[in-house]
C-alpha cells in the first residue's frame, strides 16, 4: 500500500481520495500533498515518487532537484481560477470607487441620529465618487485558466479587453471571447489599458515584469491588479509611479513592508493577505484535483498537469505494468526492451514520453516480472527508478 504525507491544511475531500488506497506516513511517504509549504531537498526521502501541489504556483518546490531524483511534481491549474477571477473583479471595483474609504467614513457616524446621520452622508459622499468599469479597457497579461475566465466576465460587464500571452495554448485560445483584442507586445497592452491584471508565473523571465521600464510607457492613471506573484512587480518602482501619478492605484495580494507603509499614508495601495484562492470551493477543487493526480500516477503511472514531466497515459492491457523513469538519453528504450526480452517476458503495450532531460515509460507485461528483472533494469545507466503497478 502506498503512503502519503500532508503539509498545510488540505480539504477533507482530498484526504478522502488519498485514504481510499493509501495510508498516512510521516517518515517514508510515496507522495507529498501541500499548499504553501516550502520544500527543501531534505524532504525528498528515498521512497518519494511524486508531489502534489494544491494550487497552480510551484515556486515553493525545488523543481530541479525533484526532476534529478525522478520525482514527478503536479500542480492544479484552473482549480482555483474562478476564486481568483472574482477577487480580480473585486480589486477593480475597490480601486475605482471609494468603497473602502466610504466604509471607514460610515463608521464615524456612530451615535448620530437619523437626520444628522443623513445630512453627514449627503455632504460627504461626493468625496467617495468613483468610476464604472463598463466601457473601460482591461489589459490581461497571461491568458491561461484565470486570464481567460477574467476575459469572459469582463466582456459580460461591458469592458473592452486586450490580451497578451506569447505562450497561449490552443485550449486557452478557444476559451477567449471573440471580442478580445490581441496585443503583439506587452508594451502595446500597457499603453492602452485602464486596468492591468497580471496572471503569469514567477520565473526568471517574469521577475520585475512591471518595473520602471514598463511603468514609463503605461497609460497615465492606469490601475494595476496583481494577484499572481509578488516578484512580478517591482514594489519600489510601483510606489514611485504612484507618487508621480503615472498610475492611480495598485491592488496586490502580496503585502511587503514598503507597500504597507505606502498604504498607511495614502489610499492608492490596496493590500490583501494572499486571499486569491481562499474560498471553500477553491480549496476543495485544488485538494481533490491534486489527490486524484497523485493517486492515478501511483496506481497507473498516468501524468496530468506535471510541471517537470511530460503528460502520459496508457489504457491497461494487462495487470502488470512497469513505470520506468530515466534520463532522456539515446537508446534507452532499446536497452530496456532488451532486458525485458532476455527475461522471456512479452510486452503487450507500451508508451514513452520525454520532456527536456527526463523521460518516462509505461510498459504492460503479460506476466509479473521477478525482482531480479526489476533490478536488472534499475542497473541500466541513466535509469532513475523502476516500479510495478499491479492490478489486483
Report the predicted TM-score, pTM, of the whole model to 2 decimal places: 0.81
With 80 as the cut, is the pLDDT of residue 252 above it?
A: yes
Residue 235 cell numbers, joined: 514594489
Residue with cell 471580442: 179
Residue 73 cell numbers, joined: 511534481
Question: Active-site residue among 24, 132, 179, 274?
Answer: 274
Residue 6 cell numbers, joined: 500532508
Residue with cell 491568458: 143
Q: Are 130 and 267 in contact (CB under 8 A)?
A: no
Taking Cα atoms as reference points, which of 186, 194, 181 lies closest to residue 213? 186
Q: What confidence tier does 277 reach under pLDDT thresholds 50, 70, 90?
A: confident
- DSSP 3-state of 249: strand
Q: Are 229 and 59 in contact (CB under 8 A)?
A: yes
Q: How many residues does the chain have?
A: 392
Q: How far apart are CA 304 and CA 313, in angstroms?
A: 8
Residue 233 cell numbers, joined: 512587480
Q: How far apart are CA 208 and CA 127, in angstroms?
A: 34
Q: Are 143 and 172 in contact (CB under 8 A)?
A: yes
Strands 31-34 and 2-6: parallel
Q: How far apart are CA 92 and CA 249, in angstroms?
A: 9
Domains along the chain with CATH numbers:
1-80+278-309 (3.40.50.720), 81-271 (3.40.50.720), 314-392 (3.30.70.260)
**What pLDDT, on the 0 to 100 scale, is given for residue 254?**
96
Q: What confidence tier does 113 reach under pLDDT thresholds 50, 70, 90?
A: confident
- DSSP 3-state of 154: helix
Q: What confidence tier does 52 reach under pLDDT thresholds 50, 70, 90?
A: very high
Question: Active-site residue among 13, 41, 179, 258?
Answer: 258
Q: What confidence tier does 36 reach under pLDDT thresholds 50, 70, 90?
A: confident
Q: How far apart are CA 228 and CA 203, in angstroms?
A: 12
Its sign, for the CA torsion 305, 309, 314, 319, is: negative
Q: Are 326 and 357 in contact (CB under 8 A)?
A: no
Q: What confidence tier does 57 reach under pLDDT thresholds 50, 70, 90?
A: confident
Query: Is 382 among the residues known to form the active site?
Result: no
Dihedral (Cα; 362, 367, 372, 373), 10-degree rounding:
-40
- DSSP 3-state of 61: coil
Strands 181-182 and 160-164: parallel
Question: Active-site residue among 229, 249, 262, 321?
Answer: 229
Query: Is 258 among the residues known to form the active site?
Result: yes
Q: For residues 163-182, b (16+ Cβ closer than 10 Å) or e, as one string?
A: bbbeebeeebeeebeeebee
Q: How far apart are CA 236 and CA 269, in angstroms?
A: 12
Q: How far apart are CA 20 and CA 38, in angstroms?
A: 27
Write the pLDDT tens digit of every residue in 153-194: 999 999 999 999 988 877 778 889 999 999 999 999 999 999
Taking Cα atoms as reference points, which of 5, 7, 4 lies closest to residue 54? 7
Query: Is 199 among the residues known to form the active site?
Result: no
Q: How far apart are CA 285 and CA 250, in angstroms?
A: 29
Question: Chain-wide mean pLDDT for the chain?
Answer: 94
Q: How far apart are CA 153 and CA 174, in angstroms?
A: 15
Write the pLDDT tens digit of every residue in 58-73: 989 999 999 999 999 9
- DSSP 3-state of 318: coil
Strands 383-390 and 181-182: unpaired
- DSSP 3-state of 267: coil
Q: What confidence tier does 368 reach under pLDDT thresholds 50, 70, 90?
A: very high
Strands 160-164 and 137-141: parallel
Amino acid at each position: 500500500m502506498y503512503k502519503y504525507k500532508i503539509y498545510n491544511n488540505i480539504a477533507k475531500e482530498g484526504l478522502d481520495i488519498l485514504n481510499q488506497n493509501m495510508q498516512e506516513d510521516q517518515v517514508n511517504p510515496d507522495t507529498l500533498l501541500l499548499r504553501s509549504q516550502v520544500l527543501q531537498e531534505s524532504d525528498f526521502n528515498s521512497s518519494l515518487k511524486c508531489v502534489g501541489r494544491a494550487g497552480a504556483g510551484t515556486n515553493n518546490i525545488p523543481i530541479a532537484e525533484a526532476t534529478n531524483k525522478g520525482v514527478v511534481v503536479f500542480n492544479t491549474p484552473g482549480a482555483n481560477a474562478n476564486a481568483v477571477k472574482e477577487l480580480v473583479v473585486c480589486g477593480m471595483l475597490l480601486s475605482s470607487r471609494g468603497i473602502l474609504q466610504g466604509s471607514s467614513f460610515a463608521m464615524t457616524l456612530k451615535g448620530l441620529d437619523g437626520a444628522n446621520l443623513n445630512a453627514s452622508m449627503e455632504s460627504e459622499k461626493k468625496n467617495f465618487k468613483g468610476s464604472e468599469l463598463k466601457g473601460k479597457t482591461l489589459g490581461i497579461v497571461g491568458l491561461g485558466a484565470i486570464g481567460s475566465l477574467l476575459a469572459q466576465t469582463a466582456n459580460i460587464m461591458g469592458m473592452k479587453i486586450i490580451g497578451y500571452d506569447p505562450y497561449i495554448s490552443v485550449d486557452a485560445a478557444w476559451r477567449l471571447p471573440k471580442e478580445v483584442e490581441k496585443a503583439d507586445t506587452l508594451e502595446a497592452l500597457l499603453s492602452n489599458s485602464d486596468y492591468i491584471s497580471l496572471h503569469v508565473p514567477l520565473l526568471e523571465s517574469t521577475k520585475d515584469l512591471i518595473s520602471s521600464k514598463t511603468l514609463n510607457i503605461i497609460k497615465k492613471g492606469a490601475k494595476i491588479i496583481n494577484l499572481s506573484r509578488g516578484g512580478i512587480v517591482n514594489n519600489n518602482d510601483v510606489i514611485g509611479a504612484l507618487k508621480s501619478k503615472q498610475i492611480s492605484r495598485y491592488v496586490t495580494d502580496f503585502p511587503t513592508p514598503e507597500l504597507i507603509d505606502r498604504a498607511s499614508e495614502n489610499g492608492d495601495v490596496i493590500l490583501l493577505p494572499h486571499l486569491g484562492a481562499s474560498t471553500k470551493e477553491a480549496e476543495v477543487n485544488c485538494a481533490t484535483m491534486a489527490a486524484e493526480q497523485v493517486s492515478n500516477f501511483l496506481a497507473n503511472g498516468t501524468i496530468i498537469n506535471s510541471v517537470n514531466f511530460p503528460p502520459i497515459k496508457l489504457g491497461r492491457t494487462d495487470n502488470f505494468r512497469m513505470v520506468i523513469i530515466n534520463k532522456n538519453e539515446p537508446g534507452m528504450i532499446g536497452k530496456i526492451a532488451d532486458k525485458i526480452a532476455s527475461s522471456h517476458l512479452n510486452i503487450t503495450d507500451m508508451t514513452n514520453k520525454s520532456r527536456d532531460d527526463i523521460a518516462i515509460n509505461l510498459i504492460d507485461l503479460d506476466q509479473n516480472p521477478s525482482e531480479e528483472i526489476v533490478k536488472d533494469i534499475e542497473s541500466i545507466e541513466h535509469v532513475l527508478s523502476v516500479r510495478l503497478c499491479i492490478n489486483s
